[in-house]
Structure 1
Amino acid sequence: MNNPRRKFIKMGALLGVSSAFMPLQFCSPAKKENEDLIVSPEEVKSKLQSFGIQLYSVKDEMAADAKATMTALAGFGYKQFEGFDGGKGVLWGMDPKEFKSLTTDLGVEMVASHANVFENLDAQAEAAAEAGLTYLICPWIGSQKTIDDYKSFADKFNEAGETLKSHGLKFAYHNHDYTFVSMDGTMPQDVLMENTDPALVDFEMDIYWVHVAGVDPAAYLAKYPGRFKLCHLKDAEADKGDGEERGVLFGSGEIPFTDIVKESIDLGMEYFIVEQERFVGTNPMEAAEKNAAYLMNSFEY
């Protein structure tokens, strides 16, 4: 609300849906139907239980000193980490017990890691489970030549999901823009969605890449409710004709991701992971701190 004065607002107008069907992140004390409320700007903020960061956002800092970097990120307010293999494995050279002890001491959950799920998956899964991860995520398959190629990857996803399930873990696929570009009248992402078993395969929506591909992230989430359990939060400046390099600090771009967050929770989204790969007028650690502050100012915790 831009008007600083208090306004009388109908409960239904404020929430838009029945509070009986709202997820816990949005719960508020029960009100009588049609009861008038006096609402301040602070009271209309939605609640978000926590958010995380993809450690690739600070990859150079992680390579230099993983423990110090993770400690600093926890101090910025991140309660979840998502990893990647930076050359020392997804646990950054630490054994699973040591890694688990570190995240526990920091009060942070290592939710997931991007990994090569097509090689040595059993060994990776065993270590990941011991370290306390929930997901191993396929971050890239590349643009395929045919729709049948995407169907083949859907089969591989199902197989990987079955393997991870046997270790008590979950599988997810993280998209880029290429699966949201139509091929012979078919969107490859649809092929992956419709040819994978929901009991074995979840998805991580990179909101930035969906937006850059010209697809509405919120509409696509609504098309497949319950399939996207994780997302990457990234902002993008308006297209200036320089291709894919559009990443900016939260709030300085054109993606309405705070609204997308609010809508996505009701569609099954569970994990909100900050990622930034382009830094203009800032640096990775400063950007991580500013993005965390932006989220803490945009939502109630």
Structure 2
Amino acid sequence: MGQAFSIMNKPSRRKFIQMGSLMGLGAALMPMQFCSPAKKEGETLMTDPETVAQTLKAFGIQLYSVKDQMAENPQETMRALASYGYKQFEGFDGGKGILWGMETAEFKSLNSEIGVDFVATHCDVFKNLEAQAEQAAEVGIKYLICPWIGGQDSLDKYKAIAEQFNQIGETLKGYGLKFAYHNHDYTFVEQEGQLPQDVLMDNTDPALVDFEMDIYWVYVAGVDPEAYMKKYKDRFRLCHVKDAAAGIENPHERGVLLGQGEIPFAKLIKESQSLGMKYYIVEQEQFDGVTPMQAAEKNAAYLSKLEY
């Protein structure tokens, strides 16, 4: 029986050894994603970046939000805003010029001291363009922005303005600057069967003209900001982050502090980053029970914690 058992099991033993070898080879070739190595002390396992919540590393404020304070003391106002967490400023001409009455060296020194990048300024681009461009270039401002053209009574007039924008963009290019147009609601109201904003987008050269989307004005005009950014991918480089309350009919009376309205900023910020958006600029024009500086501080706190 012992001999018979030994003879009968020889094939089985060879088969067992062969199977064991194959199993060992299979384990060696097994894709790494099926393995679960033990995590060493102080080591973190890689996580899909798409599942990790993010916050904005830098965001700015349009100084028009605190226009009275800027008129009284621009230097101290800018210092206070920087202390709230703003890393970028967008200016406007409040009657003292785009440098707020400061000399070039003083302006640059102040922004360096408070750690702020003065990325853009709203100004009258139809007057003294080259003088403003020269000042902006000297202090490192990147954009001159047209904040207002007013509603036009024909699409042909918008086409003519688009051509002016191309010419302005060409001039600013010579100074190493960029040009952009900031919308209000009137270019998102249909006219002659078309949106005037489409006319401006379609008749400007992307190499010369960028756009700043005021998300509030697009939203209260009844247009989806995200869908419009997708329609004109890589044309909107800056945006105004401004919230709108629900249940108020008048579009000029819907402004509230960030997080108190119904605009889905977390989703918009996340999606817009793949559509060419670079600068997120807080703007507040309506105040309910808070001062402009208090609003600026609260908006900075909201945006610094907003996960997307």
TM over 0.5: yes
Report the Cα distance in structure 2 between the residues aligned to 1:132 and 1:51, rounded to whole angstroms.
17
Is 1:266 the counterpart of 2:274? The answer is yes
Counterpart contact for 2:243–2:260, Cα < 8 Å: yes
Alpha-carbon distance in structure 2 between the residues aligned to 1:204 and 1:30: 36
- Is 1:244 aligned to residue 252 of structure 2? yes
Say which of 194, 209, 212 aligns to 2:202.
Answer: 194
Deviation at 1:30, TM superposition (A): 6.0
Aligned partner letter, 1:241: E
Per-residue CA shift, 1:202-242, capped at 9, x if unaligned? Answer: 00000000001000000000000000000000001014234
Residue number in structure 1 paired with 2:118 = 110
Aligned to 2:177: 169
Amino acid at match of 1:144: Q
Aligned partner (choices 143, 147, 154) of residue 151 of structure 2 = 143
Listed one character per residue, the Cα deviations across residues 160-203 of structure 1 (whole Å, up to 9, x for unaligned) are 00010000000000000000000010110000001000000000
Tell me if structure 2 keeps the 8 A contact 1:230–1:272: yes
Does residue 1:86 correspond to 2:71, yes or no? no
Aligned-residue offset at 1:243: 4.1
1:209-224 matches, within 5 Å, as 209-224=217-232
Structure 1 residues 235 and 204 mapped into 2: Cα distance closer, same or farther (>3 Å)? Answer: same
Within 5 A, what are the aligned runs for 1:46-85? 46-85=54-93
**Structure-1-length-normalised TM-score:** 0.85
Unaligned segments of structure 1, at least 5 residues: 1-28
2:240 equivalent in structure 1: 232
**C-alpha RMSD over aligned residues:** 1.7
Conservation of the 8 A alpha-carbon contact between 2:55 and 2:306: no
- Deviations 1:111-144 (CA, angstroms, capped at 9, x unpaired): 0000000111001000011111000000000000
TM-score (norm 2): 0.83
- Work out whether residues 80 and 111 of structure 1, in 8 Å CA contact, stay in contact via their aligned partners in 2: yes
Aligned equivalents of 1:88 and 1:252: distance in 2?
34
Alpha-carbon distance in 2 for matches of 1:132, 1:98: 13
Which residue matches 2:135? 127
2:53 matched residue in structure 1 = 45
Q: Which of 76, 100, 110 matches 2:108?
A: 100
Q: 1:205 aligns with which of 194, 207, 213?
A: 213
Mapped to 2, the partners of 1:218 and 1:192 lie a distance apart of 18
Kindly state the Cα deviation for residue 31 of structure 1 after the two structures are TM-superposed: 5.1
Q: How far, CA to CA, are the matches of 2:52 and 2:258 in structure 1?
A: 20
Report deviation, 1:47. 3.6
Q: What corresponds to 2:42 in structure 1? A: none
Q: Shift of the alpha carbon at 1:299?
A: 3.6
**Post-superposition, which runs of at least 4 consecutive aligned residues in structure 1 deviate over 4 A?**
29-32
Distance 1:168 1:60 in 2: 31
CA apart distance, 1:100: 1.0
- Structure whose alpha-carbon radius of gyration is higher: 2
Corresponding residue pairs, total: 264
Distance 1:299 1:133 in 2: 29
Distance 1:229 1:239 in 2: 30
Higher helix share: 2
8 A contact 1:45–1:298 mirrored in 2:
no
* AA aligned opposite 1:269: M
Matched, 1:178 2:186: yes
Which one of the candidate residues 252, 257, 273 is aligned to 2:265?
Answer: 257
Q: Is the 8 A contact 1:96 1:128 kept in 2?
A: no
SS in 2 for 1:70: helix
Residues 56 and 303, structure 2, Cα contact 8 Å, conserved in 1: no
Unmatched runs of 5 consecutive residues or more in structure 2: 1-44
CA drift at 1:151: 0.2
Match of 2:295 in 1: 287
Tell me the equivalent position of 1:298.
Answer: 306
Identity of aligned residues (%): 64
Deviation at 1:90, TM superposition (A): 1.2
Listed one character per residue, the Cα deviations across residues 238-290 of structure 1 (whole Å, up to 9, x for unaligned) are 14234411110111101112210110010000000000000011110001000
